[in-house]
Amino acid sequence: MKFAVLASGNGSNLEAIIDALRKKKIKGTLQVVFSDKENAFALQRARKAQVPVVAWRDPKACKDRAAFDRALVKFLRQEGIELVVLAGYMRILSPVFVRAFRNRIINIHPALLPAFKGAHAIRDAFKAGVKVTGVTVHIVDEEVDHGPILAQAAVAVTPADTLASLEAKIHKVEHRLYPEVIGELVKGKKGDK
């Protein structure tokens, strides 16, 4: 199965995916890493692993979000992409994109959805004083941080935790869980292909 990773930032989850591919824990082909930011560190990680990268410098050059997503759908279809993996991709996908890859877009979120949706989930959970938070891998639908849940893993929040230590614990779980779910999807064990 050919898949693409869409990333906007550091790419630590991408690195975990690349590592899982090297170790044959994911049997698919990472066809391309796409970013809406040409200076995203994720692109450097992909280049180092000799994965093709594509970055569009100015998404605002498109008429609107739907036009940008139509162009991206066209590109991904030309690449033969069967699964879209969001790894820190900070653009909200339009219904145009979601419909084009219905049930074939997955995301990882640093909280136990439906709790703590949004871009600051770890901080929000920490400030709320919860005793348990975690990580969710889900199929993307037209709503933000919503869609059928494929996997969740809990992370305990201890009195000794700081925001930084909690972030580190969450990322460690993400880096284990996301490649596992991708590996299962590629083998056809999870989700609706």
Residue 146's CATH number: 3.40.50.170
Question: Is 64 inside a domain boundary?
Answer: yes
Domain count, the chain: 1
Question: Is 163 inside a domain boundary?
Answer: yes
Question: Is 80 inside a domain boundary?
Answer: yes
Query: Cα(15)–Cα(105) distance, rounded to whole angstroms?
Result: 19
Question: Is 177 inside a domain boundary?
Answer: yes
pLDDT at 19: 98
Q: Select from 107, 98, 104, 99 the least CA-distant residue to 82.
A: 104
Question: Is 193 inside a domain boundary?
Answer: no
Q: Which residues of the chain have pLDDT under 50?
A: 191-193
Count CA atoms within 13 Å of residue 20 on its CB side: 24
pLDDT at 193: 37
Which residues participate in catalysis according to the annotation?
Answer: 109
Question: Is 22 inside a domain boundary?
Answer: yes
pTM of the model: 0.93
Q: Domain containing 100: what range?
A: 2-187
Query: Cα(14)–Cα(56) distance, rounded to whole angstroms?
Result: 18
Tell whether the torsion through CA atoms of 118, 123, 128 and 133 is positive or negative. positive
Question: Is 192 inside a domain boundary?
Answer: no
Query: Strand, coil or helix: what is 34?
Result: strand
Question: Is 6 inside a domain boundary?
Answer: yes
pLDDT at 155: 98
